[in-house]
Structures are given as structure tokens and as C-alpha cells.
Amino acid sequence: MTRFTAISAALIVVALIVAACGGGDPTAVSQRTAPAPQPTVAPQPTATLEPAATRAPGQARPVATSVPTATPTAAPTPTPTGFEPRYGGTLNTRNIFDWTSWDTWHAFGGFSSMLVSNMFSNLLHPALNDLTTLAPDLAIEWDISEDGLTYTLKLRQDVKWHDGKPFTSADVKWNIDRGRTSEDPFISFNKRKVSIITEVETPDDFTVVMRLAQPSASFLASLAAPSMLMYPPHVEGVAPKSGA
């Protein structure tokens, strides 16, 4: 009995040793987590250079040429068409007012002045684009002496009165002297413009010399006044004074 007990105890010890050497549960699976897959980067295309063109032996090197610039051309000036100017004849108009006189030195009031200013001319007139500047009319040029006392005017040589008689320096002298000496109350309206003149000379048919008593900054402007239109002396006293 004692021997059987000793054998049994030895078998139990061997069984325990075998169990200890066998490890854990043979069905147990390792629970280690697999690493997450890393994203892959697509490969970048590599730029390639086109091979340079090769020139054949003896071929000239190409030269860069500039593109020609178009030269602007001016548009042709259109030929004016329409009515041709007509000289002479009679112009008939209708007016709602009576005018005072055909005589430029008797015409007073806005309507009469407007009518005669379309038929007669001044020695000078205000420039169209600058009323502070005087422009030639019947006189084409003028000269002032250094002392400001002598004015010399050169007249146009292609001017005729409406009846065909030529316009000369004698006509200018007659008009200026008329304003200086007349006792007519209408004509004397211009006396203040020409009373400064002491003498009018006519060296030739197209030159007028006016001598002043004293220098005047406004003298030339006075010659351009609407009331200083030149009037033909050979019709004075013949043409009707009234337009009514």
C-alpha cells in the first residue's frame, strides 16, 4: 500500500510537469493588431525637353523678323456738294419791324443795326473765336506809331460797293470826316468815337493815315463798333433814309 501511494504521487508530479511545459490553450490566437496600411504617393511625371532642331550643314541661322506695323491712312476729304454761291440778284425777306434807315450812320436800334450789318462792313471787326481780339475786315493790316498818335491802315484792293464802284481810301476819309464834323444828331452819335482824330490822310487809294490828338487804347475797337460801318458816299442823299 505504501508502494502504490508512492507511485501514484510520482505520476501526479510528472503530469504537473508535462502540463507546465505544454503552455497555454492551444486554440488561443495572438490578438496583436496589424499595422494600418500607409497611403502611397503617385509618381510625378518627369518633364522632358524636346530636342533642339538641328540645322543641316551650310544652312543659315534663322533671323527673327518684326511684324510690319500698318500705317494709318487719312480718310479722304469728302467733296462738298450742294448749292453754289450766287452773286448779285435780289433777296426778298419778310420782317415784322420797320427799320430806321439804310444809311449805316442813321440806322439805330437793334433791328436796323442787324440789317445794315449784313450789307456793309467795318474797317475791323471782333474775331469770331475771341471777341477780345480784332480781325481784318475792309482793312487787312494796320500799324501804330511808337508815340501812339498815328494809325496807318492798308485796305483790301478787291472790294466794290453794291453798284460796282470800287471801295477806296477816299471813302474811308469821307466816313470818318462825316462823323467828326456833321451836326446831324444821329451821325454825331459816333462823334465821341472819332473826335480824337485830328486829321485823315489818303496817300494812295488803299492807304489811310489817321492822326490822333492823344494816344487811345480803345481807338481800334471804336473802328470795329457796329455803328462805324462804312457807307458809300456817292449815294448819300440819294438812297432813302427810311426803310418804311
Strands 150-155 and 207-212: antiparallel
The DSSP-derived string for 63-75 is: ---PPPPPPP-PP
| pLDDT tens digits, 180-193 | 888 777 776 778 88
Angstrom distance (rounded) from CA 171 to CA 177: 10
| pLDDT tens digits, 43-54 | 665 655 555 556
Does pLDDT of 74 surpass 50?
A: yes
| pLDDT tens digits, 118-151 | 889 999 999 988 878 999 999 999 999 999 999 9
Extended strands (E) in the chain: 124-126, 134-136, 139-144, 150-155, 197-204, 207-212
Does pLDDT of 19 surpass 60?
A: no
Domains, the chain, with CATH or none: 122-235 (3.90.76.10)
Strands 197-204 and 150-155: unpaired
Composition of the chain by helix, strand, coil, percent to 5: 25, 15, 60
What percent of the chain has pLDDT above 90? 35
Does pLDDT of 215 surpass 90?
A: yes
Phi-psi region of 170 (alpha: psi -120 to 50; beta: other; left: phi over 0): alpha
In this prediction, residue 35 carries a pLDDT of 56
Query: For residue 119, which of 244, 208, 239, 211 has the smallest C-alpha distance?
Result: 239
Q: Model-level pTM?
A: 0.60
In this prediction, residue 28 carries a pLDDT of 43
Does pLDDT of 95 surpass 80?
A: no
Which residues are CB-neighbours of 188 under 8 A, at least 6 positions away?
179, 182
Does pLDDT of 168 surpass 90?
A: yes
Cα radius of gyration rounded to whole Å, the chain? 59
